[in-house]
Amino acid sequence: MRNYSFLLLILVCLLSACSYRTPNSAFIGASSTKTGLYNDWPVYYNSKGFQESKLIKWGSVKWVDTLNLTKEEKEAERKAQSATMNKVIVDNNPDDISVKYTPGGIFITPLQLYFDETEVANIHWQEFLHYIKRDSSAAFYQSMLPDSTVIKLNERDYHRYEELGYGRRGGAGRNYSVIGGDTILREMSEQMPVDSIYFRHPEYLYYPIVGVSYEQAVAYCQWRSKVVTEFINSFPKREQKVKVTYRLPTEQEWEIIASAGVDKDKFPWSTATGAVKYKVNPKAAAFIAKKIVEPKPVAQIKQDLKETEVHDLFINVKRPLPYFLQFRTPAYVYGGWPNDYGAYHVQGNVAEMVAEKGIAKGGSWKDELSNSKITDRQLYTTPSDKVGFRCVCQAELIK
């Protein structure tokens, strides 16, 4: 077990939080984090809602030393951390690759491919459905709809289009408090006055897509390959054409990325080992009240958030949590701490499909920590509330 407090603090700054503002359900960003396409399709989000990225009070975070090392052992550990950090910096700043950008991808030098920074989220699946509905047959569109029954939201978490203010089209900064001002919103309100579906809920846009099959995930990879290839080749200054291919990682590739340079047998959760303490933002009380399993008054939740320091793991797996963190869904895809390559929730949150059909890796929000080691497999046969996916990408110049 290793204490990576120093390493993780620097990684968070270098690879994620300090480098850009992570999108969330109240700030979706101007462009898709999976295709690079502008978010100008009818995506609805609660532009005045709570931003999931602010759930944890980051200034309250304390890494817990669970190792009780001697002075000499701590010095050896510090040197090992520095060596790992240097390797990660080199791996993520390659000079010899021909294609230096793919949307949402982190370059993994040992494998010479890109790996999605996050799991594919609901907003990405909505984007996919929007374009295939426009460009493909009705039968194909219907075959790509996820199983929306795998997650059941609280009734208090249902959203009502006529009551909430929603923004439309990312980056436009628009908010609708009166539904009569927008034709599409009015139609949606008439057809679906109350919506209980997790994958299209405006407050779960950046939560992992679940309820999809292996075949649907493969179809998404094929579609993404086509649109991203077209997108990158549309750059005005691009002198040479590029072919981009997205696919599911093999089990071996996934384990290499999850290990992030450490011995997976000696460190079965890579650097996501140990414990952390933090406080939850009291401003999230109303947001939390809709989503927790057991109903509680907002005032009580707010008071408990102020008084409670959470003792937690680095991985979103099944574990004891205070009532105000017991949700009915997996977590925000940018939540928590990235691994040493800068990828979020490689272990935990949702088990991730790999190229070998029927096998998922990493464990999930419903799996015990002991069953979520890098080498463990989570087997599946049908769409599930605990299985999702992310892609790897190979990019090559077209000669």
Segment 287-346, tens digit of pLDDT: 999 999 999 999 999 999 999 999 999 999 999 999 999 999 999 999 988 988 999 999
Cα separation of 105 and 109, whole Å? 12
Model confidence band, residue 74 (pLDDT cutoffs 50, 70, 90): low
Pick the residue with more confidence: 16 or 353? Answer: 353
Q: Give me the helices (H) in 176-241, please.
A: 183-191, 214-233
Q: Three-state DSSP class for 224?
A: helix
Cα separation of 6 and 307, whole Å? 27
Prediction pTM value? 0.85
- Alpha carbon of residue 52 to chain centroid: 12
User: Which domains, and CATH codes, for the chain?
Assistant: 5-23+54-150+209-397 (3.90.1580)
Q: Are 248 and 221 in contact (CB under 8 A)?
A: yes
Instruction: Check residue 173 and give left, alpha or beta (phi > 0: left; psi -120 to 50: alpha).
Output: left
Number of H helices, E strands in the chain: 9, 13
